[in-house]
Protein backbone atom coordinates (compact mmCIF):
# COMPACT_ATOMS: atom_id res chain seq x y z
CA UNK A 1 0.00 0.00 0.00
CA UNK A 2 1.28 3.46 -0.92
CA UNK A 3 0.48 6.81 0.70
CA UNK A 4 -0.33 9.38 -1.99
CA UNK A 5 -1.04 13.11 -1.79
CA UNK A 6 -3.00 14.65 -4.68
CA UNK A 7 -3.32 18.42 -4.96
CA UNK A 8 -6.42 19.95 -6.46
CA UNK A 9 -8.43 16.80 -5.81
CA UNK A 10 -11.82 18.14 -4.78
CA UNK A 11 -13.10 17.42 -8.29
CA UNK A 12 -12.03 16.52 -11.83
CA UNK A 13 -8.92 14.50 -12.60
CA UNK A 14 -7.53 14.79 -9.09
CA UNK A 15 -10.65 13.37 -7.50
CA UNK A 16 -10.85 10.63 -10.11
CA UNK A 17 -7.22 9.64 -9.48
CA UNK A 18 -7.96 9.60 -5.76
CA UNK A 19 -10.91 7.27 -6.23
CA UNK A 20 -8.88 4.93 -8.42
CA UNK A 21 -6.11 4.79 -5.81
CA UNK A 22 -8.56 4.21 -2.97
CA UNK A 23 -10.20 1.40 -4.94
CA UNK A 24 -6.75 -0.20 -5.23
CA UNK A 25 -6.36 -0.02 -1.41
CA UNK A 26 -3.85 2.83 -1.31
CA UNK A 27 -3.88 5.52 1.36
CA UNK A 28 -4.93 8.80 -0.23
CA UNK A 29 -4.76 12.33 1.13
CA UNK A 30 -6.79 14.81 -0.88
CA UNK A 31 -6.40 18.58 -1.13
CA UNK A 32 -8.95 21.37 -1.43
CA UNK A 33 -8.54 25.12 -1.45
CA UNK A 34 -11.14 25.76 1.29
CA UNK A 35 -13.13 23.89 3.91
CA UNK A 36 -16.34 23.82 1.87
CA UNK A 37 -14.59 22.06 -0.98
CA UNK A 38 -12.79 19.80 1.52
CA UNK A 39 -16.11 18.54 2.86
CA UNK A 40 -17.31 17.90 -0.69
CA UNK A 41 -14.09 16.01 -1.48
CA UNK A 42 -14.47 13.83 1.61
CA UNK A 43 -18.04 13.00 0.63
CA UNK A 44 -17.02 12.22 -2.96
CA UNK A 45 -14.12 9.97 -1.90
CA UNK A 46 -15.16 8.51 1.46
CA UNK A 47 -12.18 6.17 1.65
CA UNK A 48 -9.64 9.01 1.74
CA UNK A 49 -7.46 9.28 4.82
CA UNK A 50 -7.93 13.03 5.02
CA UNK A 51 -7.95 16.35 3.22
CA UNK A 52 -5.35 19.11 3.48
CA UNK A 53 -6.78 22.58 3.01
CA UNK A 54 -5.32 25.77 1.54
CA UNK A 55 -5.41 27.98 -1.52
CA UNK A 56 -2.12 27.25 -3.30
CA UNK A 57 -2.39 30.55 -5.17
CA UNK A 58 -0.96 32.06 -1.95
CA UNK A 59 2.55 31.27 -0.76
CA UNK A 60 1.62 31.30 2.94
CA UNK A 61 -1.34 28.96 2.41
CA UNK A 62 0.86 26.61 0.39
CA UNK A 63 3.20 26.49 3.38
CA UNK A 64 0.22 25.58 5.56
CA UNK A 65 -0.76 22.82 3.14
CA UNK A 66 2.78 21.43 3.43
CA UNK A 67 2.59 21.49 7.25
CA UNK A 68 -0.73 19.61 7.18
CA UNK A 69 0.67 17.10 4.69
CA UNK A 70 3.78 16.42 6.76
CA UNK A 71 1.55 15.52 9.71
CA UNK A 72 0.46 12.41 7.78
CA UNK A 73 4.07 11.24 7.45
CA UNK A 74 6.19 10.75 4.36
CA UNK A 75 4.34 10.21 1.09
CA UNK A 76 5.25 7.49 -1.36
CA UNK A 77 4.01 9.73 -4.16
CA UNK A 78 2.91 13.31 -4.71
CA UNK A 79 0.67 14.11 -7.68
CA UNK A 80 0.74 17.81 -8.56
CA UNK A 81 -2.73 18.05 -10.09
CA UNK A 82 -3.90 21.51 -8.94
CA UNK A 83 -4.03 24.03 -11.74
CA UNK A 84 -5.84 26.90 -13.39
CA UNK A 85 -6.59 27.11 -17.09
CA UNK A 86 -6.77 29.93 -19.58
CA UNK A 87 -7.55 33.23 -17.85
CA UNK A 88 -8.91 36.04 -20.06
CA UNK A 89 -7.06 38.64 -18.01
CA UNK A 90 -4.00 38.60 -15.79
CA UNK A 91 -5.17 37.89 -12.24
CA UNK A 92 -2.77 38.90 -9.49
CA UNK A 93 -2.43 36.92 -6.26
CA UNK A 94 -1.99 38.30 -2.75
CA UNK A 95 1.75 37.90 -3.33
CA UNK A 96 1.67 40.06 -6.46
CA UNK A 97 2.17 37.13 -8.83
CA UNK A 98 0.28 36.08 -11.93
CA UNK A 99 -2.18 33.45 -10.68
CA UNK A 100 -1.55 31.04 -13.55
CA UNK A 101 2.15 31.00 -12.58
CA UNK A 102 1.49 30.92 -8.82
CA UNK A 103 -0.85 27.91 -8.96
CA UNK A 104 0.57 25.94 -11.88
CA UNK A 105 4.27 26.42 -11.19
CA UNK A 106 5.24 28.02 -7.90
CA UNK A 107 2.88 25.97 -5.74
CA UNK A 108 4.21 22.58 -6.92
CA UNK A 109 7.75 23.88 -6.49
CA UNK A 110 7.16 25.07 -2.93
CA UNK A 111 5.12 22.08 -1.80
CA UNK A 112 7.82 19.73 -3.11
CA UNK A 113 10.50 21.75 -1.34
CA UNK A 114 8.64 21.77 1.99
CA UNK A 115 7.29 18.25 2.46
CA UNK A 116 9.37 15.26 3.46
CA UNK A 117 10.91 14.09 0.21
CA UNK A 118 8.31 11.81 -1.43
CA UNK A 119 9.11 8.55 -3.14
CA UNK A 120 7.76 9.70 -6.54
CA UNK A 121 6.67 12.94 -8.19
CA UNK A 122 4.03 13.40 -10.87
CA UNK A 123 3.46 16.79 -12.51
CA UNK A 124 0.33 17.47 -14.58
CA UNK A 125 1.21 19.24 -17.80
CA UNK A 126 -0.54 19.58 -21.15
CA UNK A 127 0.07 19.06 -24.82
CA UNK A 128 -0.15 22.83 -25.04
CA UNK A 129 3.26 23.03 -23.38
CA UNK A 130 4.78 22.27 -26.78
CA UNK A 131 3.65 25.72 -27.91
CA UNK A 132 5.12 27.44 -24.87
CA UNK A 133 7.60 30.26 -25.40
CA UNK A 134 9.60 30.87 -22.25
CA UNK A 135 10.45 34.35 -21.05
CA UNK A 136 12.28 33.70 -17.81
CA UNK A 137 12.75 37.45 -17.34
CA UNK A 138 8.99 38.10 -17.24
CA UNK A 139 7.25 35.06 -15.78
CA UNK A 140 4.76 37.37 -14.02
CA UNK A 141 3.67 39.02 -17.27
CA UNK A 142 4.25 42.54 -16.02
CA UNK A 143 6.06 43.68 -19.18
CA UNK A 144 4.43 41.49 -21.80
CA UNK A 145 0.91 42.02 -23.06
CA UNK A 146 -1.25 39.32 -21.49
CA UNK A 147 -1.94 36.36 -23.75
CA UNK A 148 -4.16 33.71 -22.06
CA UNK A 149 -3.10 30.83 -24.30
CA UNK A 150 0.59 31.63 -24.19
CA UNK A 151 0.58 32.20 -20.42
CA UNK A 152 -1.06 28.82 -19.84
CA UNK A 153 1.24 27.03 -22.30
CA UNK A 154 4.25 28.63 -20.64
CA UNK A 155 3.11 27.45 -17.21
CA UNK A 156 2.68 23.89 -18.46
CA UNK A 157 6.13 24.00 -20.06
CA UNK A 158 7.49 25.12 -16.71
CA UNK A 159 5.78 22.12 -15.07
CA UNK A 160 7.64 19.77 -17.39
CA UNK A 161 10.83 21.71 -16.65
CA UNK A 162 10.26 21.25 -12.91
CA UNK A 163 9.69 17.52 -13.36
CA UNK A 164 12.88 17.15 -15.36
CA UNK A 165 14.88 19.40 -13.02
CA UNK A 166 13.94 17.24 -10.04
CA UNK A 167 14.64 14.06 -11.98
CA UNK A 168 18.16 15.39 -12.48
CA UNK A 169 18.52 16.75 -8.93
CA UNK A 170 17.06 13.71 -7.13
CA UNK A 171 17.90 10.68 -9.32
CA UNK A 172 16.52 8.32 -6.69
CA UNK A 173 13.03 9.92 -6.94
CA UNK A 174 11.12 9.12 -10.16
CA UNK A 175 9.84 12.48 -11.39
CA UNK A 176 7.69 12.66 -14.51
CA UNK A 177 5.28 14.95 -16.32
CA UNK A 178 1.93 13.85 -17.71
CA UNK A 179 -0.38 15.09 -20.44
CA UNK A 180 -3.80 13.78 -19.35
CA UNK A 181 -5.32 14.71 -22.69
CA UNK A 182 -8.18 17.07 -23.46
CA UNK A 183 -10.69 15.64 -21.01
CA UNK A 184 -14.19 16.87 -20.05
CA UNK A 185 -13.41 18.40 -16.68
CA UNK A 186 -14.43 21.89 -15.57
CA UNK A 187 -11.15 23.15 -17.05
CA UNK A 188 -11.37 21.07 -20.24
CA UNK A 189 -15.01 21.90 -20.92
CA UNK A 190 -17.92 19.73 -22.09
CA UNK A 191 -16.66 19.35 -25.67
CA UNK A 192 -13.33 17.76 -24.72
CA UNK A 193 -12.74 14.64 -26.78
CA UNK A 194 -10.37 12.50 -24.68
CA UNK A 195 -11.42 9.80 -22.22
CA UNK A 196 -11.72 11.15 -18.66
CA UNK A 197 -11.02 7.81 -17.00
CA UNK A 198 -7.87 7.29 -19.07
CA UNK A 199 -6.85 10.84 -18.20
CA UNK A 200 -6.26 9.81 -14.58
CA UNK A 201 -4.79 6.36 -15.10
CA UNK A 202 -1.27 7.45 -16.03
CA UNK A 203 -0.94 9.47 -12.82
CA UNK A 204 -2.12 6.51 -10.75
CA UNK A 205 0.28 4.18 -12.57
CA UNK A 206 3.26 6.51 -12.10
CA UNK A 207 2.41 6.99 -8.43
CA UNK A 208 2.05 3.34 -7.49
CA UNK A 209 2.98 1.04 -10.37
CA UNK A 210 5.66 -1.62 -9.84
CA UNK A 211 6.63 -2.34 -13.44
CA UNK A 212 9.78 -0.76 -14.89
CA UNK A 213 7.78 1.67 -17.02
CA UNK A 214 6.24 3.25 -13.93
CA UNK A 215 9.51 3.69 -12.06
CA UNK A 216 11.61 5.40 -14.74
CA UNK A 217 12.27 9.12 -14.39
CA UNK A 218 12.54 12.31 -16.39
CA UNK A 219 9.82 11.61 -18.97
CA UNK A 220 6.79 13.31 -20.46
CA UNK A 221 3.95 10.82 -20.94
CA UNK A 222 0.50 10.58 -22.47
CA UNK A 223 -1.57 7.48 -21.66
CA UNK A 224 1.51 5.70 -20.25
CA UNK A 225 3.56 6.26 -23.39
CA UNK A 226 6.56 8.62 -23.43
CA UNK A 227 6.60 11.46 -25.95
CA UNK A 228 9.11 14.14 -26.83
CA UNK A 229 8.76 17.21 -24.65
CA UNK A 230 9.62 20.80 -25.48
CA UNK A 231 13.45 20.90 -25.72
CA UNK A 232 13.71 23.81 -23.27
CA UNK A 233 12.50 21.54 -20.46
CA UNK A 234 15.63 19.37 -20.78
CA UNK A 235 18.06 22.31 -20.73
CA UNK A 236 19.96 22.26 -17.39
CA UNK A 237 20.51 26.03 -17.59
CA UNK A 238 16.75 26.62 -17.94
CA UNK A 239 16.04 24.17 -15.11
CA UNK A 240 18.53 25.82 -12.77
CA UNK A 241 17.26 29.29 -13.60
CA UNK A 242 13.68 28.25 -12.88
CA UNK A 243 14.64 26.69 -9.55
CA UNK A 244 16.54 29.85 -8.62
CA UNK A 245 13.57 32.08 -9.52
CA UNK A 246 11.20 29.95 -7.45
CA UNK A 247 13.63 29.88 -4.53
CA UNK A 248 13.91 33.66 -4.63
CA UNK A 249 10.12 34.15 -4.73
CA UNK A 250 9.42 31.73 -1.87
CA UNK A 251 12.54 32.08 0.24
CA UNK A 252 12.89 28.29 0.12
CA UNK A 253 15.65 26.71 -1.97
CA UNK A 254 14.94 23.24 -3.27
CA UNK A 255 16.83 20.76 -1.04
Which residues are catalytically annotated? 152, 156
Name the DSSP letter for residue 53. E
Tell me the HSE value of 49 on the side-chain side, using a 13 A CA sphere.
Answer: 19
27-32 β-sheet, strand order: 50-53, 27-32, 3-6, 77-80, 121-124, 175-178, 220-222, 225-227
Query: Positive or negative, the Cα torsion across 249, 78, 121, 101?
Result: negative
Q: What is the 3-state secondary structure (H, E, C) of 92-120?
A: ECCCCCEHHHHHHHHHHHHHHHHCCCCCC
Q: In sequence order, which ranges of 137-235 are alpha helices (DSSP H)? A: 148-169, 196-208, 212-215
User: Could you tell me if 134 and 154 are in contact, meaning their C-beta atoms sit under 8 angstroms apart?
Assistant: yes
Element at 220 (helix H, strand E): strand 220-222
Exposure pattern of 200-234 as b/e (b: 16+ CB <10 Å)?
A: bbbbbbbbbbeeeebeebbbbbbbeeeeebbebbb
Amino acid sequence: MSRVLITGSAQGLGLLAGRQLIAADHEVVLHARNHTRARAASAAAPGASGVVVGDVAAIEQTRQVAEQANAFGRFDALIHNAGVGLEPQRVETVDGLARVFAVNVLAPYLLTALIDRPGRLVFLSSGMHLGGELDLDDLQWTRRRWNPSRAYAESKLLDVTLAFALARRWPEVPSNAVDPGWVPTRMGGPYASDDLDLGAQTQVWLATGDDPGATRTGRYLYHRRPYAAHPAASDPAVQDRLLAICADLTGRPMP
